[in-house]
């Protein structure tokens, strides 16, 4: 007869937020196992299907930072807004930038500067009240902190109130630099650069084609938001383009044509 293992108070563990996110990442970011997807590639007015392999939680971690910038533009109507995505998915490094209002950089009631609270604390955010901004994506206050906790390095560069605020979180936010705040900035916006941690993800890389498709999706879904996209497939080779509203309109017409041709090719294909 197998003797039952003793169950005592010593078996109960209490983890801090960072440790819980890194240990049970799938709860916050989704599937941690590699999956294979067939994605469409738009090449020379034709649709090609390519099989790619990646970890969905890695894709979600990157998407959380992109969604923050999209939320910033959800209820702003100023001219000249641009979302920039500079990705080297082969190395797992990303920089997401917007020229919105910029995350507030003043002191928070917790005694820390607001960016340190926003990006370094789980369950912190602006969308917990009844007067939250309409049309926003981020509602639970965990996204950017999860990405930070799962990164080797996570750097914040904010322009607001005539000042530039810079701060770096290292090793899953266990090390946090003292903020650098300097006057003299004449612009606004937030830029986040990060490298995902291979100790958290079995493979922190993404297929470049997947990031390119994500950029096209954004261009088609948010017609009034120009996108500056740079997807690097190696340290030297890169794809860079500015998706303006005019480009997006042309793209939609081109995609309609490509989808129709693709469907016709399937209908009349001889196996």
Say if strands 227-232 and 83-88 run parallel, antiparallel, or are unpaired.
parallel
Q: Compute how many other C-beta atoms are within 10 angstroms of the C-beta atom of residue 68.
A: 24
21 versus 249: which is more confidently predicted? Answer: 21
pLDDT tens digit string along 226-265?
778 888 765 444 455 555 555 555 555 555 555 555 555 5
Domain boundaries, the chain: 25-267
Taking Cα atoms as reference points, which of 12, 180, 218 lies closest to residue 98? Answer: 218
Integer Cα distance of 50 and 91 in angstroms? 21
Integer Cα distance of 50 and 28 in angstroms? 28
pLDDT of residue 206: 92
CA-CA-CA-CA torsion sign (178, 192, 131, 101): positive
**If you classify domain 25-267 with CATH, what class do you get?**
alpha beta
121: confidence class by pLDDT, cuts 50, 70, 90: confident
151 versus 45: which is more confidently predicted? Answer: 151
151: confidence class by pLDDT, cuts 50, 70, 90: very high
Side-chain half-sphere CA neighbours of 54 within 13 A:
25
First to last CA, the chain: 60
The verdict on pTM exceeding 0.85 is no
Average pLDDT of 123-143? Answer: 50
CB contact at 8 A, 21 and 150: yes
Mean pLDDT for the chain overall: 81
139: confidence class by pLDDT, cuts 50, 70, 90: very low
Give all strands (DSSP E) within 9-99, no chain letters: 35-43, 46-54, 83-88, 93-98
> Which of 67-81, 110-124, 187-201, 213-227 has the highest mean predicted lDDT (pLDDT)?
187-201
50 forms beta bridges with 39
């Amino acid at each position: 007869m197998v003797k039952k293992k003793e169950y005592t108070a010593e078996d109960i563990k209490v983890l801090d937020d960072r440790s819980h996110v890194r240990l049970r990442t799938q709860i916050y970011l989704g599937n941690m196992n590699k999956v294979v997807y067939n994605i469409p590639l738009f090449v020379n007015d034709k649709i090609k299907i390519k099989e790619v392999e990646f970890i969905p939680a890695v894709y979600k971690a990157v998407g959380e930072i992109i969604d923050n910038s999209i939320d910033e533009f959800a209820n702003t109507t100023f001219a000249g807004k641009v979302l920039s995505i500079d990705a080297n998915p082969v190395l797992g490094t990303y920089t997401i930038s917007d020229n919105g209002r910029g995350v507030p950089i003043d002191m928070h009631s917790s005694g820390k500067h607001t960016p340190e609270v926003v990006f370094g604390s789980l369950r912190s955010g602006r969308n917990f009240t009844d007067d939250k901004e309409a049309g926003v994506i981020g509602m639970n206050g965990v996204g950017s902190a999860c990405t930070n906790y799962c990164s080797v390095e996570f750097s914040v560069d904010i322009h607001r109130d005539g000042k530039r605020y810079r701060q770096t979180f290292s090793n899953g936010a266990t090390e946090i630099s003292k903020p650098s705040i300097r006057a003299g900035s004449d612009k606004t916006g937030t830029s986040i650069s990060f490298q995902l941690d291979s100790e958290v993800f079995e493979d922190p890389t993404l297929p470049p084609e997947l990031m390119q498709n994500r950029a096209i999706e954004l261009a088609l879904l948010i017609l009034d938001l120009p996108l500056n996209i740079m997807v690097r497939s190696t340290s030297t080779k890169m794809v860079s383009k500015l998706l303006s509203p005019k480009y997006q309109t042309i793209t939609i017409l081109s995609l309609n044509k490509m989808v129709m041709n693709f469907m016709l090719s399937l209908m009349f294909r001889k196996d």
